[in-house]
Amino acid sequence: MSRALWFCAGLLLCAATFIPLSELRKALPPAERLGHLPSPGVTYFASLEHRALVSELIFYRTMFYYGALVHQPKQAPDYGALYAFLDTATRLNPGNIDAYYFAQAILTWDAKMVRPVNGLLQRGIAKRPWDADLPFYLAFNYYYFLGDFEHAARYFEITARLNPEVSYFGTLTARALYQADKTELAIRYLQNLLKGTKNQAVRKQIAVRVDALARIRFLEVACQRYRDKAGRAPASIEELVTAGVIKGIPPDPYGGVFYLDPRDGRVKTTSNLAETRKAQ
Amino acid sequence: MRVGSFSLAQVTFKGGVRDRLLHGVLVAALLLLCSTPIFSSFSMRDVAGVAVSYTLSMISVIGVILAVFLGGNLIARDIQSRTIYSVATLPLSRSRYIMGKYLGLAQLLCCSLAILGLLNALGLAAIAKGYPPDRPLQWLSYAACLAFDLEKLLILCAVLVLFSAIATSTFLPMILTLAVYAVGESTEKVKFFIETVEGAKNVTPAVRGVSRIIYYLFPNLSLFDLKNQVIYALPLDPGALLLTALYGIGYITVTLALACAVFGRRDFV
């Protein structure tokens, strides 16, 4: 009888403390939950023969941290820490495709860390010479973010060689050299990225970006139609509506407003294709 | 009538099969392998690759646990329970006693790894069917990876037997063998680092010398790690594999010969 009593008392104590403790842990800022990693060198040697597994575990930690933050619009992720984790993950296992994919999908667009991500991708290309996705990402980064058409063409060519079944990679090689339309390229690239992911948080981010770019593309086509009709470029987006080319201006899914940049005449948005969040 | 090493190996094997530690570890291993679909499902692009890296690491960890904890008790238990005195009366040389114990443990590890490897292969085949990897799984590489993992464990067992032949405590050989495992897994990377320009700048000549001695003295266990070849379906180099297998056999032979020599001179009175 006394044993049963002790058992029940212990169980009650566990239940009474564990639930509030879980709530306390949940309330911790996500940055604290991401924590810190030892230096890549220490992690490398401490992982012994399990580097591939440890690399994946580090990536999982990064992904869960980001997934938790996606639903908290008031706090921006600590992109520096995210990059450090992905860097360590890819040093432990340079073949970890998940880490490259995540870096490409999130850090280039949201954190504008294009050059550091390019460094990671170079590491991946060296270890995954059969993979057509990594040179494609690198080519896209050079083309879209950095405007480096020479490097972009080189990596589009590698992509086309590795994946001859996808004909548009081949045409992109030529397009990159002629500075073809960036928006259409970005939509195709993001659709390729979207095809390969199961993670809901990342899928949502990419889908919103595709949606925003499709609206920009819609406005760009309308501008072209206006030019064909009026013989000059429109002065503003609103002019497309008043001229009857489009019925209305679509809203920016990121909460910004579309406008025509007077410097280059391109359609842009005040949100800069990123959700407005408070920096940490 | 002389008692052969193989008879003692059979006795050791049968004793090991009845060991509850073996049952417990194998059940834990199977539970861990069952968790593979959950673990790998978090991967964004390479579910099958993650499943392979997770399960091969698990099998390797379980193998090291079995080798160290089952092997650690082999000789120490005989000494502590004074069974060694009865063994000494048998027409069995001390070298044959050591070899018999080692072969029994080797059989036990071989069977455990075969069971885990086979069950894991079934699970991996199912995962690869559901989530086809970029490059199809190479089952020959998988079998080679398990075979070289077993050879690595046999080296560790030989080291453990050597320490058990010297030490009087049960735990010291286990801890020392775990240390050899950690050093053996890192020594190659350390040597390669100190030979780079960066390493030459940051490491003193004394440390470089010690690292070189450690590199040649301790077993280089990185050679036996073929996980990346399985995960990314990379081609195997038959020449390198043959050299690795021979290196492992050589290291085991030298270590067991030393263990027999030390155990032969040991005084139990």
B194-213: pLDDT as tens digits: 888 887 888 888 888 999 89
Average pLDDT of chain B, as a whole number: 90
Which range among A120-124, A140-144, A146-150, B230-234 shows the weakest confidence by mean pLDDT? A146-150
pLDDT at site B1:
43
* pLDDT value for A171: 53
Q: Average pLDDT of A205-220?
A: 87
Tell me, what's the pLDDT at B90? 72
In three-state secondary structure terms, A259 is strand
pLDDT for position A277: 46
Q: How confident is the model at residue A36 (pLDDT cuts 50, 70, 90)?
A: confident
pLDDT band per the 50, 70, 90 thresholds, residue A280: very low
Asked casually if ipTM beats, i.e. exceeds, 0.90, the reply is: no
How far apart are the C-alpha atoms of A47 and A53, rounded to whole Å?
A: 9
* A229 CB burial (10 A radius; 0-12, 13-18, 19+): exposed
Tens-place pLDDT, residues B12-67: 888 888 888 889 889 999 999 999 999 999 898 889 999 999 999 999 999 999 99
Do residues B258 and B162 make contact, with C-beta atoms less than 8 angstroms apart? yes
Q: How far is Cα B161 from Cα B253, in angstroms, rounded to an integer?
A: 12
pLDDT of A263 = 83
Nearest to B103 by CA among B176, B180, B11: B11
Residue A179: the pLDDT is 46
Q: Is A202 on the interface with B (CB under 8 A)?
A: yes
pLDDT at A8 over 90: yes
Q: Residue A35: which pLDDT band, with cuts at 50, 70 and 90?
A: confident
At B55 the pLDDT is 96
Indicate the residue of A52, A56, A60 with minimum beta-carbon distance to B228.
Answer: A52
Confidence band, pLDDT 50/70/90 cuts, at residue A29? low
Strands (E), A51-181: none
Hey, are the CB atoms on A197 and B225 less than 8 Å from each other? no
- CB atoms B186 and A202 under 8 Å: no
Mean pLDDT of A2-12: 90
Nearest to B53 among A45, A56, A197 (CB): A56
Q: Is A60 on the interface with B (CB under 8 A)?
A: yes
Q: How confident is the model at residue B3 (pLDDT cuts 50, 70, 90)?
A: low
